[in-house]
A and B are shown apart, each in its own frame.
Chain A
């Protein structure tokens, strides 16, 4: 990602971000509300057009990927299934759009623990169930790169532990896992590497242990960086 910026009118949501995300580890993307995390991730997927700069995924822009779901799995919105569609129907059209075998639909439903709710319409889903369906959609293409915007949002304690372990195991398989959050405790438990942004600018791009450094905890270190 190079010199990425996005302005909405006079607001600079993202202001000259440059960083590289590496495979094989969980990279946490930290920042306050409105820091520009979601906007950055939308630009990574070509959903929003950057005002300046660009994002390359293995050397090419997302728009140039053929069967992008098999390369990048993304969770951007908790509720992106049409309320009238059943869980498996939502995953089915996604699979068809990228020539992903239909068997993956069942596999990911099982993986996220929705096999008993698969015939329910999305409108009847709780926040946590909707989040699980969104995670299933991200995993559908068995992608080597995962972009997750606040995946913990809405999950119960069991779900939080599950997603934490899932992210770690995906990274251990050599995948790239890029996850935004403002839950510092969660990041301290999951991520190895951190990218901290504020007002659309990078404040830190370092390992978790180097980031904490002298501070007593990740929270402490974060507040110090933010207030600087």
Chain B
């Protein structure tokens, strides 16, 4: 069953393109952001921030993949064949997740490590030493946000509807809205922003503006909770509704 889901992933051309886009965006932007930070005179400018910021844009491509994994079943009518072949809906969903997760995890790891070194090359003299926690956190985050997208898309079934929710949500984060004091109270708990601490995207430690009431690992755990909630919601809808 898992093998069948892997074959499905492999035989869609969009898979290749969104994976390439994820990698290219993270690595390319990582380098450019590093480069732009190299010449900033401000000593407070955070090189770690520069090393990870590209994730906020590169993730978009992987989120599209997370959506397509399930929405393509509905748009093409393949869901009928899938559920006729695997009528236990929970099993079908688990097989899909079991096939998707390792693939996305490997892609995330390769992407994040490459991005970190691309950013380091860009930063030149301002480069920071290898940050294992940040790299691990960003890898897990990228995988979690992709699965979060799969959960949302399983609830909504349509790619357009899912992206209409996910893209504004993620842009909200990348545009730094999370650091505006009043708005922050709420937005800091959004599924992407909870992972910002571990990726050093909340700014240098100590400045009150960027202070978060949770630590790096707790934040990542909050993202995982969001993902779990979305997947459980997706499972509930999949179980309950006709196709």
B interface, over-half SS: helix
Check if A97 sits within 8 Å of B4, measured CB to CB: yes
| Cβ-based interface call for A42 (8 A) | yes
Check if A96 sits within 8 Å of B7, measured CB to CB: yes
Q: Given the known A-B contacts A47-B242, A77-B77, A94-B4, are A85 and B84 also in contact in the complex, defined by CB atoms under 8 Å?
A: no
Check if B242 sits within 8 Å of A49, measured CB to CB: yes
| Cβ-based interface call for A45 (8 A) | yes
Check if B85 sits within 8 Å of A69, measured CB to CB: yes
Q: Which of B10-18, B123-131, B223-231 contacts A (4 or more CB under 8 A)?
A: B10-18
Question: Among the listed B12, B84, B87, B88, which residue makes an inter-chain contact with A82, where contact means beta carbons less than 8 Å apart?
Answer: B12
Question: Among the listed B77, B80, B85, B243, which residue makes an inter-chain contact with A97, where contact means beta carbons less than 8 Å apart?
Answer: B85
Check if B1 sits within 8 Å of A97, measured CB to CB: yes
Closest CB in chain A relative to B74 CB, distance in Å: 11
What total of A-B pairs shows CB separation below 8 Å?
A: 76
Q: Which of A27-35, A60-68, A175-183, A215-223 contacts B (4 or more CB under 8 A)?
A: A60-68
| Cβ-based interface call for A139 (8 A) | no
| Cβ-based interface call for B3 (8 A) | yes
> CA separation between A225 and B7, bound complex, in Å?
49
Q: Given the known A-B contacts A77-B80, A94-B81, are A84 and B87 also in contact in the complex, defined by CB atoms under 8 Å?
A: no
Check if B242 sits within 8 Å of A42, measured CB to CB: yes
Check if B242 sits within 8 Å of A82, measured CB to CB: no
Contacts of A68 in B (CB 8 A): 84-85, 87
| Cβ-based interface call for B133 (8 A) | no
| Cβ-based interface call for A193 (8 A) | no
Check if A47 sits within 8 Å of B76, measured CB to CB: no
Closest CB in chain A relative to B156 CB, distance in Å: 19
Q: List A74-113 residues whose CB lies under 8 Å from chain B.
A: 74, 76-77, 79-86, 89-90, 92-98
Contacts of B8 in A (CB 8 A): 82, 93
Check if A79 sits within 8 Å of B243, measured CB to CB: no
Question: Among the listed A63, A82, A86, which residue makes an inter-chain contact with B78, where contact means beta carbons less than 8 Å apart?
Answer: A82
Contacts of A83 in B (CB 8 A): 76
Check if A45 sits within 8 Å of B87, measured CB to CB: yes
Question: Among the listed B3, B13, B80, B87, which residue makes an inter-chain contact with A80, where contact means beta carbons less than 8 Å apart?
Answer: B80
Closest CB in chain A relative to B92 CB, distance in Å: 9
> CA separation between A95 and B13, bound complex, in Å?
21
* Closest residue of A by beta carbon distance from B81: A80
Contacts of B76 in A (CB 8 A): 79-83
Q: Given the known A-B contacts A84-B12, A98-B85, are A76 and B80 also in contact in the complex, defined by CB atoms under 8 Å?
A: yes
Check if A84 sits within 8 Å of B81, measured CB to CB: no
Check if B84 sits within 8 Å of A81, measured CB to CB: no
Check if B7 sits within 8 Å of A93, measured CB to CB: yes
Contacts of A86 in B (CB 8 A): 11
> CA separation between A81 and B85, bound complex, in Å?
13
Give the interface of A toward B (CB within 8 A). 42, 45-49, 62-63, 65, 68-69, 74, 76-77, 79-86, 89-90, 92-98, 137
Given A65-B87, A82-B76, A137-B81, 9 other A-B contacts at CB below 8 A?
A46-B83, A47-B84, A47-B242, A63-B88, A76-B84, A81-B76, A84-B13, A86-B11, A97-B86
Give the interface of B toward A (CB within 8 A). 1, 3-5, 7-8, 11-14, 72, 76-78, 80-88, 242-243
Closest 5 CB pairs of A and B: A97-B4, A96-B4, A48-B242, A93-B7, A82-B76
A-B contact pairs, 15 of them (CB 8 A): A45-B84, A47-B80, A48-B242, A63-B88, A68-B85, A69-B84, A77-B77, A80-B80, A81-B81, A84-B12, A86-B11, A89-B11, A95-B4, A96-B7, A97-B4
